[in-house]
Amino acid sequence: MADPDHNAHDKLFKAGFSDPATASAFLRAELPEEVASLVDWASLRLEPGSFVDSEFRHCESDLLFSARVAGREARIHLLFEHQSRRDPLMALRLLRYMVRIWESWVGPAGKGKPLPAIIPVVLGQDATVWKVEPRFSALFDLSGELAALGRYVPDFDFRLIQLAAMPFEAIAGTSDGVLILRVLKAERTGELLGPAVWDEALLLQVGRSIFERVLRYILGQEDVDRETFERTVSQIVSPQIHRDAMTLAQQYRQEGRREGREEGSLASLRMAVLEALSLRFGEVPEGLREAVETTNDAGRLREWHRAAIVSPSLEVFSEQL
C-alpha cells in the first residue's frame, strides 16, 4: 500500500543522512562492534544513485556510501523502510539491490575483481517490531537431506534497525540525526508534539536547516493542528527556539495558503478547458481529459482554453497538446 506521506519521510531522512558525518555517527553505533571497528569512518563518502525498484519507491528510499574497510574499498547500503507491513522477503529485495551495486561497480569502465563488500543496513520506521530473520538463507527450507544444497545458495546477513524497538533516548548519532530519527519514530506513534521531539537541549544543537525541515514535516502531518502546535511551542523556554518555530510556522501557513490559491486557479482553468470541449464536441475522450487534468502549467491551460473555443474539431485541438 502506498504511503501518502512517503515524499515527506524520504526528504527528511535524506536531508540528514545524506551527510556522511550524520550517517557515520549513527551507523558506527548500530553496526556490530567487530564490523564498525574495521570501517575507516573518516573515509565515508556518499555515492550517487538509487538502487530501489520502482514498485517499492512508495515505501523506501536508499543511500549508498563508500568507505575503506580493513584497508579495502567497500560499500554500505542504507535502506530506509517506511511501509507499515512486515516484509518477509526483505532479504530477497536486498539481494537485488546488492547485485545492482556490484554491476554499477563493474560498469562500462570494467573495474572488475575484486568486487567490494557490501554492508546492507535496513532502517525501519514502522510502529511495531518486525519478526524477520535478517539472513538470506532463512528464506529457504534446507533441512534434513536438503542441507547438502546449502553450498549452492547465496547467503548474507543484513543489519535490521527498527525504530519501534528503540527508546527515544537510545537513538545515537549527531544532534541532527537523533532529532530526525526521533521525529520519524514519533510520527508512527503519534508523539510529534511530545517531549522526545521538543527536547530543548537537543534542539539547541540542531542546525537551522534541519530544524526547518523537521518543522515542515511536523506541520505537514494531518493530525497536528495549529492550536496544539502553538501550545507546545509556548512551553519552550529558549527564546531562540520559540521565535524560530513560530516564524517558520507562519511562513509554512503562508506558503500553504498560496499553494492552495494556485491549485484553485489551476483547477478552474482545467474545468474551463473541459467545459468548452464538452459544450462544443460532446463527450471528451478519457486520454484527452487526463492530459488536461494532470497539467499544472497555467499558461498552457489558457492556451488550451482558447484552442477549445476556436478549434473546428477535437482532432485539431489534440494537435495543440
b (16+ CB within 10 A) / e for 21-60: ebbbbbbbebbeeebeebbeeeebeeeeeebbeeebeebb
- Tell whether the model's pLDDT for residue 48 goes beyond 60: yes
- Tell whether the model's pLDDT for residue 91 goes beyond 70: yes
Neighbours of 80 (CB within 10 A): 22
What pLDDT, on the 0 to 100 scale, is given for residue 122? Answer: 94
Q: In this predicted model, what pLDDT tens digit does every residue of 173-189 receive, in sequence order?
A: 999 999 999 999 999 99
Q: What's the CA gap between 162 and 228, in Å, rounded?
A: 28
Q: What's the CA gap between 7 and 236, in Å, rounded?
A: 29
Q: What's the CA gap between 178 and 22, in Å, rounded?
A: 9
CA separation, residue 23 to residues 27, 116, 174, 233, 289 (Å): 6, 20, 9, 29, 46
What pLDDT, on the 0 to 100 scale, is given for residue 2? Answer: 38
- Average pLDDT on 115-121 reads 95
What pLDDT, on the 0 to 100 scale, is given for residue 258? Answer: 46
Size of the chain, expressed as the number of residues it contains: 321
Residue 224 · residue 259 · CB < 8 Å = no
Q: What's the CA gap between 289 and 252, in Å, rounded?
A: 33
Instruction: Indicate if the alpha-carbon torsion angle 170, 173, 175, 176 is positive or negative.
Output: negative
Confidence of residue 4 (pLDDT cuts 50, 70, 90): very low
Q: In this predicted model, what pLDDT tens digit does every residue of 261-271 receive, in sequence order?
A: 455 577 888 88
Confidence of residue 6 (pLDDT cuts 50, 70, 90): low
What pLDDT, on the 0 to 100 scale, is given for residue 84? Answer: 60
| DSSP-assigned states of every residue in 39-103 | EEEEEEEEES-----GGGTTTEEEEEEEEEETTEEEEEEEEEE--SS--TTHHHHHHHHHHHHHH
**DSSP character for 154?**
-
What pLDDT, on the 0 to 100 scale, is given for residue 123? Answer: 94
Confidence of residue 87 (pLDDT cuts 50, 70, 90): confident
CA separation, residue 49 to residues 11, 61, 159, 288 (Å): 15, 11, 21, 35
- Tell whether the model's pLDDT for residue 1 goes beyond 50: no
- Average pLDDT on 237-241 reads 88
Q: What's the CA gap between 34 and 39, in Å, rounded?
A: 10
Nine-digit cell at 75? 560499500
Amino acid at 266: L
CA separation, residue 188 to residues 86, 118, 228 (Å): 15, 30, 18
Q: What's the CA gap between 19 and 96, in Å, rounded?
A: 25
